Amino acid sequence: MKILNTLIFGLATMFAMSNFASAGTAVPADGIGYTSVTSSTATPLADGSTLIKQTSHGLWIETTTEAGFPSEKVADCNVTMLLSAEGAPIAYRAVCTASDVDGDLFVGTIGATKPDFSDCAWTAHGGTGKYAGVTGGGQCRSLGPITKDGNNSKSAWTGEWLLP
């Protein structure tokens, strides 16, 4: 009987552990985000370029969740963007915090320097709870506006989490 109990406990433990990636493991982190601009200020600069500062609020949905993290997160970002005199993006940088259903917070940055955002990249900087010590990153891309005024947009990302 003791062997049977040990075997059942061992199998249950293996099953539970198989649902979570182990420390030091890289796991896919792919998803899509829907974002709305909540505030925006534009400052014209002497050279004709424009500095834009925005705050945004959105819903991020991971399409891969092998790390055992909830797939849906509510995100708030502080964005700084520089546009050329012609209106082309010169630089884009955002610092974002995303919280999940458990109340744990993820911190990440997003950046691009090419006018077509083809070099868009994200980086994970840890957070609280299950996100403490998480690193990683990958590529991101705009999927365009979802309203005519451009204040609501869609984006996607691909990459990986590195668990501590």
Residue 44 above 90 pLDDT? yes
Task: Fill in the DSSP letter of residue 146.
Answer: S
What SS3 state is found at 37? strand
Q: Which domains does the chain have, with CATH numbers?
A: 22-162 (2.40.350)
Q: In the structure encoding, which two tokens stand for residue 129, read together?
A: 């709870």
Q: Is residue 53 over pLDDT 90?
A: yes
pTM over 0.85: no
**3-class DSSP state of 12:** helix
Indicate the pairing of strand 31-44 with strand 105-112.
Answer: unpaired
Residue 6 has pLDDT above 60, yes or no: no
**Which single residue is written with the structure tokens 């995303």?**
98
pLDDT in tens, 73-112: 999 999 999 999 999 999 999 999 999 999 999 999 999 9
Residues 107-131 have a mean pLDDT of 94
Counted residue by residue, the chain has a size of 164
Mean pLDDT of 43-49: 97
> What's the pLDDT at 56?
97
Q: In terms of Cα–Cα distance, which of 55, 75, 82, 65 is closest to 31?
A: 65
